[in-house]
């Protein structure tokens, strides 16, 4: 079950119903819109010391429910820092580019799928996978996630941005 739980109480409250339904995987979003819900990373909320991943691992221990942290890698929400935003060759950020493409498709009557209608355009901004700050921030989150002994694996989302490869390709920038 992919759940957007934000407090230890919500996590604990989700375990028993999951068991009753026979669900054996808890996918917990721990990195979303460029904010980590685990302490000690470059993307952590400095005022919140609650480690939701550790809470989930502890709550699920011995229940038969495996915990998978979910990380949204390159979409950092509408408030992504200007200097980290990925830009197209036209100088557009990802939301501007998606809106232009949707508008052109609508004008040409090419929209068959409502997900591509201008009103459905994702407003979340992509950050550059080539940025040192993005790389360092994601590595700090990955290190914190990897240090949690109670997880079964990791779910990576938003790892490929438009224009960086086809549906079946994954590329990574060189790391120093």
Per-residue pLDDT averaged across 136-153, rounded?
94
pLDDT reported for residue 170: 41
Average pLDDT, the chain: 84
CA–CA separation, 124 and 104 (whole Å): 20
CA–CA separation, 114 and 28 (whole Å): 28
Q: What is the pLDDT of residues 19-52, one digit of tens each?
A: 999 999 999 999 999 999 999 899 998 887 889 9
pLDDT reported for residue 112: 54
pTM for the complete prediction? 0.80
Specify whether the CB–CB gap between 76 and 36 falls below 8 A: no
CA–CA separation, 172 and 122 (whole Å): 23
pLDDT reported for residue 172: 41
Q: Which residue has the higher pLDDT, 172 or 140?
A: 140
- pLDDT-derived band at 137, boundaries 50, 70, 90: very high
pLDDT reported for residue 175: 40
CA–CA separation, 84 and 25 (whole Å): 33
Per-residue pLDDT averaged across 160-175, rounded?
51
Share of the chain above pLDDT 90, in %: 54
Q: What is the pLDDT of residues 57-106, one digit of tens each?
A: 999 999 999 999 999 999 998 889 999 999 988 888 888 887 777 777 66
pLDDT reported for residue 6: 87
Structure tokens at 26: 């808890």
């Amino acid at each position: 079950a992919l759940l957007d739980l934000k407090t230890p109480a919500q996590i604990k409250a989700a375990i028993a119903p999951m068991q009753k339904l026979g669900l054996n995987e808890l996918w917990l979003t721990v990195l979303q819109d460029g904010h980590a819900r685990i302490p000690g990373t470059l993307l952590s909320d400095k005022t919140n010391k609650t480690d939701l991943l550790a809470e989930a691992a502890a709550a699920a221990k011995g229940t038969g429910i495996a915990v998978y942290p979910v990380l949204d890698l390159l979409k950092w929400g509408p408030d992504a820092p200007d200097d980290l935003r990925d830009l197209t060759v036209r100088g557009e950020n990802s939301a501007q580019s998606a809106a232009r493409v949707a508008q052109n498709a609508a004008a040409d009557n090419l929209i068959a799928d409502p997900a591509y209608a201008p009103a459905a355009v994702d407003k979340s901004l992509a950050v550059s996978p080539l940025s040192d700050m993005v790389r360092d921030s994601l590595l700090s989150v990955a290190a914190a996630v990897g240090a949690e002994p109670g997880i079964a694996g990791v779910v990576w989302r938003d790892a490929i941005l438009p224009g960086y490869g086809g549906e079946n390709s994954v590329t990574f920038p060189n790391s120093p």
